[in-house]
Amino acid sequence: MISTHMFNQPELIELDLKKKLANLYSSAGIPVNYHFKTLETDWSRSYSPSGTLTGTAKKRSEDIFNFIKGYITALDSIAAGDGLKVKFKTSIKMITDIILDGSKSSGKTMLMSLIAQESINRGYSVKYVEWAEYCDRFISFDSRGINEDFFSDCLNCDFLFFDNLYQYDISNNKFFVVQLDRLISSRINKGKVTICSIDTINNQNPAFGFIWNKFSRETFTFKLPEANLKIENKSKRS
């Protein structure tokens, strides 16, 4: 006979909860590599994968840490449409939707994953979508029917995450552009939160359609830091 005293019940409960959360994260589309990462332990304010952060880059890394920490703390207010109150030099803004702008390995995916996980932890519905996957699903008009449920999830979830937006060959695809505009405008009208990552450090914002371009102009964009000096990799950013 096996004694129940052999098991640590609180630990079993904790493991069961972690498994359930992992399933929810995976179902939402959050990359497995970032499950259960934390801002405090996995975001370095001193290093990037390509080297030491100094000067403006180091200050920006500290700023993004403080901003994401504040954003996560204010998730309930953001989901309710009130936003995060941020004070700038000459103004105060209430921020809900955000765009993270950075090059490869600057930390965009990890930061988005952290926000997405905490949103799920608080009971909000989340859809985390790789932009390449979205394009594959909707680049053809014929694929509209089989992806109707997927699009509905993107349309109605509390928090939609678009990771790594890139200008694929969509400029002449009227169906794709109109559908994307419909998605963004509907989410704006319903007060749903949309968070995106994009690399426009050396390029201009891609033209995805009128509503998207308006959204990108009016949405708070945070530039992620670049390394000033290349040395040994001491960070796990991606």
Of the pLDDT bands very low, low, confident and very high (cuts 50, 70, 90), residue 16 is confident
Residue 235 confidence (pLDDT) above 50: no
Q: How many domains does the chain have?
A: 1
Q: What's the pLDDT at 226?
A: 63
pTM for the whole thing? 0.85
pLDDT surpassing 70 at residue 110: yes
111-166 confidence digits (pLDDT tens)? 999 999 999 999 999 999 999 899 888 887 677 778 999 999 999 999 999 998 87
User: What's the confidence (pLDDT) of residue 113?
Assistant: 98
68-76 CB contacts, 8 Å cutoff, 24+ apart = 68/39, 68/43, 68/111, 68/114, 68/115, 69/39, 71/95, 71/98, 71/115, 72/39, 72/114, 72/115, 72/118, 75/115, 75/118, 75/119, 75/122, 75/124, 76/122
Task: Between 194 and 11, name the one with better pLDDT.
Answer: 194
Q: Which helix (H) or strand (E) holds 236?
A: none
Q: Which of 215, 198, 238 is nearest to 96 (CA)?
A: 215
67 in a structural domain: yes
Q: What is the C-alpha to C-alpha distance for residues 236 and 42, in angstroms, rounded to an integer? A: 7
Residue 188 lies in a domain: yes
Specify the pLDDT at position 183: 94
Q: What is the distance of C-alpha 228 from the center of its chain?
A: 25
Q: Is residue 142 in a domain?
A: yes
In this predicted structure, what is the pLDDT of residue 103?
83
Q: What is the rounded average pLDDT for all residues in the chain?
A: 84
Domain that holds residue 63: 29-223
Q: Is residue 153 part of a domain?
A: yes
Nearest-angstrom CA–CA distance, 233 and 53: 12
Q: With beta carbons less than 8 A apart as the criterion, state whether 199 and 104 touch.
A: yes
Cα–Cα distance, 14 to 23 (Å, whole number): 14
User: What sign does the dihedral 118-121-127-132 (CA atoms) show?
Assistant: positive
Label the pairing between strands 220-223 and 98-101.
parallel
Lowest mean pLDDT among 4-8, 52-56, 165-169: 4-8
Render pLDDT for 59-72 as a digit per residue (tens, 0 to 9): 888 999 999 999 99
Q: Is residue 234 part of a domain?
A: no
Q: Percentage of the chain surpassing pLDDT 70?
A: 82
Residue 147 belongs to a domain with what CATH number? 3.40.50.300
pLDDT at 10: 64
Residue 43 lies in a domain: yes
> Does residue 228 fall inside a structural domain?
no
- pLDDT value of residue 185: 93
Q: What's the pLDDT band for 222 if we cut at 50, 70, 90? A: confident
Out of 19-28, 72-81, 123-132, 220-229, pick the least confident. Answer: 220-229
Q: How far apart are CA 96 and CA 224, in angstroms?
A: 18
Per-residue pLDDT, averaged over 25-53, amounts to 90
Yes or no: say if 166 and 200 are a contact pair by the CB < 8 Å rule.
no
What local confidence, expressed as pLDDT, does residue 234 receive?
43
pLDDT band at 232 (very low <50, low <70, confident <90, very high): very low
What pairing do the DSSP bridges indicate for beta strands 159-165 and 193-198?
parallel
Tell me, yes or no, whether 237 lies in a domain.
Answer: no
pLDDT reported for residue 230: 35
For residue range 160-217, list pLDDT tens digits in order.
999 988 766 666 677 888 888 899 999 999 999 999 998 765 555 556 777 877 888 8
- Taking alpha carbons only, the member of 2, 124, 107 closest to residue 72 is 124
